[in-house]
Structures are given as C-alpha cells and as structure tokens.
Structure 1
Amino acid sequence: MQGDCRNGKGVYVSADGRHYTGEFKNGALNGRGKLKFADGTVYEGQFRDGRFHGKGKIVHPDGRTYDGQFYKNVIHGKGTLVRADGTQYIGEFSLGQFHGKGVLFSPDGREYNGEFRNNMIEGKGKIVYADGSWFDGFFHNGKPDGMGTRKYVDGSSYSGEYRGSARHGYGVFYSPGGKSTKACLSMTVTREREPSGTRMAENTRENLKTISVMVRVPWNMWMVPGTREIL
C-alpha cells in the first residue's frame, strides 16, 4: 500500500495481482481511480463502495471496450461498446443489455438505428445494408413485424405489412419508375427465410425475398458480474 488507502488517495496491490490507483473512502474504492486486473483488463473511471459505478471505461485484452455508464458493476445507462470483430453499439443499456434506443454497426456493413429491448431489436427502427438497400418499420423479436417499407437496390420498394420477416397483408409495390401496384399477400417462410405463398394482385413484382436482419445481439454484456467485489 502507498498513500492513504483509508480516506484519501493511494495505491493498492492485491495478492492476486490487481493494481488500483485512486481514491478511497472508509477503506473502499470510492471516487475516481484506475484498476488493472492480472489478465490485462483495465477499468478507469468512477467507483462507489468498491464497485464500478458512474462514468467509466473498461478495456479487455481481446480488444473489447466499453465507454459509458455503470451501475454497481453492471453496464447500465448510455455508452459505447466495441467488440473485437468491429461490431459497435452506441446507445442505451439496462442491466447489461441493449435496451432503449441505439445504433448497431455490423462488420459486414449493416447498420441498425432504432429501438432495442432485452438485447433484441424490438420496436421502431431502420436497418441499412452495405449495398444501400434498407428496411424502415417495426420489428418484433429481431424480425420485421407490422408496418414497414423495404427499399431495393434497383430502386423498387414495398410499403405495407410484415409478419416474421415476410410480407404479409396489405401493401403497395413501387417500380423503379414510380408505378404502384396494390397487393394483398399471404406468406409463409421456409427455413432459409425465403417466403412462399399466394399473391392476390396483378403485376406484382416477382422478387418476394425477405430481408435479412440482425436477429440477436451476439455478445454477453455482463463484462463485470454484479455480485463481484473489486478488492
């Protein structure tokens, strides 16, 4: 130990290799400080009662980083998270999960801007693909569900009802030239997520493929378990 590790500023090194430099209160990490773990993980920011609490940044050896708000050792509030593969999320978190409004960037060029619930794309949002096509509408369990508009690379589009990623219900097709065709679609989706079914309108487009969405957020947000004591 160095300095005042009771009520003040000091340096503390634990037997398992954790190294803390910062403020203490009543013998606990409290205030601003920097904590290095033996595995190379580094947290720098605010502490309360020995836990990450408030604004801070954590960097993992594998390249994962999170910069934002914490609540009792758990990611909670607003922040930016970056995975080692380049996936990036900027937005709101609730108890370690994507929850609220946010923007999710995928390494393959997809970008989703909208609402999340319990780590799932849920509610109103827009997903844009690397080729410039997009879907803007409502999602449920990570899939288009409800009203939405799909814009295709060739300039054509479809605005109407979706169910489980498939066009289902009433909608309007627009050709690249702007010509519109009303349709009522009854669709089913195969395991490959390609729809098949009956179209009840004339001159509807042949391309009835469903969009591909980021169904789940594939990363465990519990970077620091809420029950873990720092020192």
Structure 2
Amino acid sequence: MRPVSYAALFATLLLWLPARAQAERCEEQKLASPDGPGVIVRSDCRRIEGEFRNGLLSGRGKVTHADGQIEEGDFRRGRLWGIGRIAYADGRVAEGDFVDGMMNGQGKLTWPDGRVHEGLFFNGSPGGPGRYRNARGEVWAGMFSGSGELDGRGMHVLRDGTTIIGEFRVDRPVGDVTIEKPDGTKEAVSYDLRGRKLAREAAPAPAVGAPAAATPAATPAATPPAAAAPAGQAAPQP
C-alpha cells in the first residue's frame, strides 16, 4: 500500500474549499431605488423581494436563502415583524406572530414527522398556554415553559384516550393527579418529582395470632327491692 501524504491531502483541501465557496456565491443584484417594490440578490445567494424603505425590506416581502429556507410575511427594517411564516430547510414550519425575526405571541410550529405545537411563543420557543401533539398522537395541553415542556397545571392524553390531569414538571406528572380512563372511571394517583408513580399505603392488617378483642359481659338485671310490710306485720321472706 502506498503511504498517504497528509501534507498533500491538506494542500488539496485548501485549494478545494475556496473553489467550492466561490461556486456557491451568486452574482449580486441591487435595488434600482431604495424605496418601493424591488428585488435584491446577495452574494450568499439570498433573494430578497417585496416592499423596501431606505433599502430595507419593510412591508410585505419574501426572503429565500441558499439552503432553501423561506421567510415571508410582514417585514420591518429587514426582519419579519407581524404575521409571517418561516419554512426551514429541515422541514419545520413556523407561522404566526413575529417580532424582530422570531415568533412572539400566538403561533404554530410543525415538524416534518407530524409533531405540532400551537399556542403562545416567546422568542421562538413555546411559552405559556399551549397544546403539543407528538408523532405518536399523544397530546399535552396546559402551561408550557420557555424551553417547550409542560410546566404547571395541565393534562396529558395518551394514545388509548387515558387522560392524566394535574401538575406537571418537564412533561411529567408530579404530586396528586387524577387519571380518567376512556370508560369514564377515575383514579387518584400520586407521583414523585421525577414522575414516578407512588404506591398507595394500605390500611395495616391485624397481626397473625393476636387475641380477639374481649366482648364485655352482659350486666345482670338488678332485682327490684321488696315491698315494705304494713305496720305491725313482719316482712315476707324471699
């Protein structure tokens, strides 16, 4: 086997990277006027089209990136600001209220595998009241943290229709919760802080061989006192 020259490989890599970067660059296209409708093409192949003000996208517009990501909706100073939609290159789609390029307010985030989160968003992440459905069809609804997990009062609906209602931490039930079965029956259950079900304590059984509690003896009825004899006569013998 011929020895590998790492120096030659490194030199080839240095020559290949700039050539690839150059191939991915696009010919720039500038605005004819800084205000009004127009199209801009950047050197990184971003295509920006819509209404411009002072050379920045302001109003209805659309931005297409080289990797396929598309942003469209209302823009302010070149950023999504208002009702908008982002179709990411990985297949995710975010649509709703945007502030400074991130979803803030009511929105919906959809994944290509079928997951969906609807509700309030803060800086692009679910935060506040919302509803999340995973790819298997399970549903979490209630208060969500800024990192996207159910955190607070809420419910978890399993695939078979069983519903867990109570407090949650990081999508897991904690404390005392109610489990409702599809047939309408309910069960009170407790979970620890890690979401593990706690066993219910049963009433203690009597010890084996312990004597039964003594039954109190019946108290005999009292004998009524004899009647007093008339004066001058002896009392009758019992």
Q: Does 1:156 align with 2:162?
A: yes
2:50 to 42, 45, 56: 45
User: Which residue identity lines up with residue 60 of structure 2 in the other structure?
Assistant: K
Q: 2:181: which partner in 1?
A: 175
User: Which residue identity lines up with residue 143 of structure 2 in the other structure?
Assistant: F
Q: Does 1:198 align with 2:198?
A: yes
1:18 to 6, 21, 28: 28
CA distance in 2, matches of 1:139, 1:77: 23
CA distance in 2, matches of 1:165, 1:201: 26
CA contact (8 A) 2:120 2:127 kept: yes
The structure that is helix-richer by fraction is 2
CA distance in 2, matches of 1:200, 1:56: 60
CA distance in 1, matches of 2:108, 2:201: 37
Pairwise CA distance, 1:201: 7.9
Indicate how the Cα distance of structure 1 residues 18 and 197 shifts in structure 2: closer, same or farther if over 3 A, else same: same
Scaled by the length of structure 2, the TM-score of the pair is 0.68
CA distance in 2, matches of 1:145, 1:137: 8
Pairwise CA distance, 1:31: 1.0
- Please give the per-residue CA displacement for 1:79-124, whole angstroms capped at 9, x wherever unaligned: 0100111100111111122211100001121011101112221000
- Please give the per-residue CA displacement for 1:158-216, whole angstroms capped at 9, x wherever unaligned: 1111123221133210123221112333322xxxxxx33635589xxxxxxxxxxxxxx
Q: 1:144: which partner in 2?
A: 150
CA contact (8 A) 2:144 2:150 kept: yes
Scaled by the length of structure 1, the TM-score of the pair is 0.70
The structure that is strand-richer by fraction is 1
Indicate how the Cα distance of structure 1 residues 182 and 176 shifts in structure 2: closer, same or farther if over 3 A, else same: same
Same amino acid, percent of matched pairs: 30
Q: How many residue pairs align between the two structures? A: 176
| Structure of higher CA gyration radius | 2
Q: State the superposition RMSD in angstroms.
A: 2.0
Q: How does 1:56-75 map to 2 (within 5 A)?
A: 56-75=61-80
Question: Is there any run of 5+ residues in structure 1 with no aligned partner, and where?
Answer: 1-15, 189-194, 203-231
CA contact (8 A) 2:31 2:55 kept: no
Q: How does 1:214-225 map to 2 (within 5 A)?
A: none
CA contact (8 A) 2:49 2:57 kept: no
Greater than 6 Å deviation, 4+ residue runs: none
User: Which residue identity lines up with residue 113 of structure 1 in the other structure?
Assistant: E
Question: Is there any run of 5+ residues in structure 2 with no aligned partner, and where?
Answer: 1-25, 203-238
CA distance in 2, matches of 1:52, 1:18: 17
1:128 to 124, 133, 152: 133
CA contact (8 A) 2:189 2:197 kept: no
CA contact (8 A) 2:189 2:198 kept: no
Secondary structure in structure 1 of the residue aligned to 2:35? strand
CA distance in 2, matches of 1:153, 1:63: 35
1:186 to 153, 178, 192: 192
Q: 1:222: which partner in 2?
A: none
CA distance in 2, matches of 1:106, 1:199: 38
